[in-house]
Amino acid sequence: MQSKKILVTGGAGFLGSHLCERLLEHGNEVLCVDNLFTGTKANIAHLLSHPRFEFMRHDVTFPLYVEIDEIYNLACPASPVHYQFDPVQTTKTSVMGAINMLGLAKRTKAKILQASTSEVYGDPEIHPQIESYRGSVNPIGIRACYDEGKRCAETLFFDYQRQHNLNIKVMRIFNTYGPRMHPNDGRVVSNFIIQALKGEDISIYGEGKQTRSFCYVDDLINGMIKLMNSPDGFYGPVNIGNPKEFTILELAQLVIELTQSKSKITFHPLPEDDPKQRQPDITLAKQELQWQPTIELKEGLSKTIEYFKDFV
């Protein structure tokens, strides 16, 4: 198989670092671009000496002039704690980042994949979420910088495809977890694990009846690469996530069991626009990509807990 020059934006982040690693294993040259707002050099430290790996500190809201064959556009803070810290910059990263990467793809004739999100569905009125569902998003709420930024990025991808005949791929990522998650990103899996390992109370927002579907990072990266390598003309969007649904309370209880923690569960008010249900319909991914997740929540959580032990 011929080696490709592949650009990964957000490559020092949680998902990006796993993707860079996998692309190198497949024999490619990888250019990892990150402004290190939420990504860290620690995530890619083991790759820096690799002869086919290059790291560039760069913000995707500014144009990038490089020669590449494929682009994975992952750059954007993805947890509420980080994307609400500077909401204007979050929107700019999604929108200007998409414009700059699409412009680069147009010039170099590269195939380009957009890491979109299940948040484009907002607080969904249908369950599970299917790709044709257009969503229920509050455009002026505190989560809109991320939700609407990603929705606009999808718009740009499909307009570039129609207007410039670009070879695009759009994936909608559902809750993903695993080693190299940011320990302070406020996401439910990392929050619960850190609290349990420290023996602190586990904080549940609302009654814990809201549901999430948790996909282990290795499964997610498999789906991402399968989408990039899918036949030309299949653009997506396609849901990539684990359709097994768990309540937040069930997740907390499982984390306590696996960490053998003495933590108690406490309940707090629900944040604004927090989705009540989140579950992907992955029929399309099964049909078009022959992809479905294989790693059960218990197995994935055990690996993630091992990683987080170093932070406590």
Tell me if 39 is assigned to some domain. Answer: yes
Query: In angstroms, rounded to a whole number, what is the distance separating the alpha carbons of residues 2 and 306?
Result: 36
pLDDT, tens only, 156-194: 999 999 999 999 999 999 999 999 998 877 788 999 999
pLDDT, tens only, 245-266: 999 999 999 999 999 999 999 9
For the chain, the domain total comes to 1
Burial status of residue 106 (CB atoms within 10 A of its CB: 0-12, 13-18, 19 or more): middle
Which letter does DSSP use for residue 135 in this model? -
Tell me if 88 is assigned to some domain. Answer: yes
Q: What is the mean pLDDT of residues 80-103?
A: 90
What percentage of the chain reaches a pLDDT higher than 70? 97
Taking a C-beta distance cutoff of 8 angstroms, is the pair 256, 211 a contact?
A: no
Tell me if 287 is assigned to some domain. Answer: yes
Tell me if 253 is assigned to some domain. Answer: no
Active-site annotation, residues: 146
Query: In angstroms, rounded to a whole number, what is the distance separating the alpha carbons of residues 72 and 10?
Result: 9
- Predicted confidence at residue 183, as pLDDT, reads 82
pLDDT greater than 80 at residue 80: no
pLDDT, tens only, 117-156: 999 998 888 889 999 999 888 899 898 998 999 999 999 9
Q: Mean pLDDT lowest for which of 122-131, 194-203, 297-306? A: 122-131
Tell me if 81 is assigned to some domain. Answer: yes
- Which neighbouring-strand residues pair with 212? 246
Domain residues for the domain of 161 are: 5-176+216-243+279-293
CATH number at residue 20: 3.40.50.720
pTM for the model stands at 0.93
Which letter does DSSP use for residue 184 in this model? T
Query: In angstroms, rounded to a whole number, what is the distance separating the alpha carbons of residues 199 and 220?
Result: 30
Residue 209: count other Cβ atoms within 10 Å of its Cβ.
Answer: 12
The set of residues, in sequence order, having a beta carbon less than 8 Å from that of 101 and lying 6+ positions away, is 9, 60, 64, 71, 73, 112
> Which DSSP helix (H) or strand (E) runs through 9?
strand 5-9
